[in-house]
């Protein structure tokens, strides 16, 4: 069976429009509830977190009703980062965890992500089985077996303490001025609190959510506000997370931006020097820059590539025994500390390097020279298949031949939106512009 509801990172769409409706959320929860009650335990529990979108209230209530109707007890965590849901699912011995978020998308979108009892995102096989139960329907429990719902006020505090524990023992952030941009999202309380309690002078932005301003001109995908704040306040560093706080962008004291590849390179080298990098390699996706791969090779460190999606990075890490991986977009997974990408924890690793080296952020944030790379997204009409068009196939084949030995091209469909993502890398920027222009034009004509 092919997944139809789930993409590369759960289910996502426009709120109150199929599939992100209350009705679908309720049916999905009953299917998931039945799936996780197959072991016939006496007591079953689900934890549910969310970001700050207005539609989160609607989805939260629908999911709660669905789970209760199958006999699952529901624990509501309130607004909390995605990685905290993974952590609490495991630590609270829940059968399943749910995060209601559309990550870096605007407020009118929302999504649903599931975590298994081990705190990791569900496998493709599990999602397929839940979709099957969604399609066929499930029997509800007897009236006397309906679950109970409760709210836990200590969830954010538990995450704060866990985050602080990942910072090197005996080290502090005293004397550092840090801008933290929380994207008006799930980390608007926890991230500033962690930094302040570790001793930093904290300048928070994006910490006034109103249900509609999540990711709006703030956060890791819109770091301009943080750049401005860093420069205006003479800050040592800026840390930007996205709406659900599972990705990061770093701003140095000069206002220069470091993406996920640079941050992964920094952490990889630091961990290798400390002999705590397991497997002698970093796990990253096919989107990570060719410059990172070449630089790691020079350091004697391997790079294992996966398909796009942090879940595939995590899967490769678990199977290969690696403890560090991530994506160019800023999802950075440190398996010794978390089960999924965590922007704040990655930021703390960067800050630890600042403290240990005494160097300014500008000297450590750009660890390798990236190969020129361009990425363009092409929208297409649902139902069309631009990549199946013969002219598009021909252009892609021709482009691969042109780039042979000089760069690479990657074209894929987004797993969460009706977009074709075109990425081209080439040492010659003129060649790069020519190739990406030809490919994008061909895809647009077929979209």
Close Cβ partners of 400 (under 8 Å, ≥ 6 residues apart): 409
- Which residues contact residue 424 at a Cβ distance below 8 angstroms, ignoring those fewer than 6 apart? 373, 374, 399, 403, 407, 408, 409, 410, 432, 435, 436, 439
- 62 CB-contact burial (10 Å; exposed 0-12 / middle 13-18 / buried 19+): buried
Whether 150 is a known active-site residue: answer: no
Angle at 28 between CA 22 and CA 33, to 5 degrees: 125
Instruction: Report d(CA 190, CA 208) in Å as an integer.
Output: 13
Contact 85, 50 (CB under 8 A): no
Strands 45-50 and 419-426: unpaired
- The token pair that represents 215 in the structure block: 């990711």
- Residue 85: its H or E element: helix 82-91
69, 103, 229, 399: the catalytic one is: 103
424, 399, 427: which is closest to 410 by C-alpha?
424
What region, left, alpha or beta, does residue 326 occupy, with left being phi > 0 and alpha being psi -120 to 50 degrees? left
The token pair at 306 is 């996966």
Strands 373-379 and 419-426 turn out to be antiparallel
Q: Could you count the other beta carbons within 10 Å of the beta carbon of residue 254?
A: 12
> Catalytic amino acids?
103
């Amino acid at each position: 069976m092919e997944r139809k509801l789930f993409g590369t990172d759960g289910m996502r769409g426009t709120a109150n429009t199929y599939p992100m409706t209350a009705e679908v959320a309720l049916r999905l929860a009953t299917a998931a509830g039945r799936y996780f009650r197959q072991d016939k335990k006496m007591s079953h529990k689900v934890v549910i977190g969310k970001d700050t979108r207005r539609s989160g209230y609607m989805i939260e209530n629908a999911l709660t009703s669905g789970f209760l109707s199958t006999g699952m007890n529901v624990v509501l965590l309130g607004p909390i980062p995605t990685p905290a849901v993974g952590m609490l699912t495991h630590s609270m011995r829940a059968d399943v965890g749910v995060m209601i978020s559309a990550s870096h998308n605007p407020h009118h979108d929302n999504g649903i992500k599931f975590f298994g009892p081990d705190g990791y995102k569900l496998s493709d096989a599990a999602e397929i089985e839940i979709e099957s139960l969604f399609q066929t329907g499930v029997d509800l429990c007897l009236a006397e077996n309906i679950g109970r719902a409760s709210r836990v006020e200590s969830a954010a505090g538990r995450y704060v303490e866990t985050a602080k524990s990942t910072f090197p023992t005996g080290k502090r952030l005293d004397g550092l001025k840090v801008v933290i941009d929380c994207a008006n999202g799930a980390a608007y309380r926890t991230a500033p609190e962690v930094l302040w309690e570790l001793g930093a002078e904290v300048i928070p932005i994006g910490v006034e959510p109103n249900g509609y301003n999540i990711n709006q001109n703030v956060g890791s995908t819109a770091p301009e506000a943080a750049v401005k704040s860093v420069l205006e306040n003479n800050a040592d560093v800026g840390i930007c997370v996205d709406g659900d706080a599972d990705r990061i962008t770093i701003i140095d004291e000069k206002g220069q931006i470091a993406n996920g590849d640079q941050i992964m390179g920094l952490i990889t080298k630091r961990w290798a020097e400390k002999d705590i990098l397991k497997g002698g390699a970093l796990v990253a996706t096919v989107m990570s820059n060719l410059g990172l791969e070449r630089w790691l090779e020079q350091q004697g460190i391997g790079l294992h590539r996966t398909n796009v999606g942090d879940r595939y990075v995590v899967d490769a890490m678990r199977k290969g025994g690696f403890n560090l991986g991530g994506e160019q977009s800023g999802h950075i997974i440190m398996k010794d500390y978390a089960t999924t990408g965590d922007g704040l924890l990655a930021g703390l690793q960067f800050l630890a390097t600042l403290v240990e080296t005494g160097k300014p952020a500008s000297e450590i944030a750009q660890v390798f020279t990236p190969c020129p790379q361009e990425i363009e997204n092409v929208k297409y009409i649902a139902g069309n298949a631009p990549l199946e068009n013969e002219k598009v196939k021909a252009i892609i084949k021709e482009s691969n031949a042109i780039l042979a030995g000089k760069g690479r091209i990657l074209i894929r469909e987004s797993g969460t939106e009706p977009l074709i993502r075109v990425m081209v890398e080439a040492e010659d920027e003129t060649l790069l512009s020519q190739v990406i222009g030809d490919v994008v034009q061909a895809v647009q004509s077929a979209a």
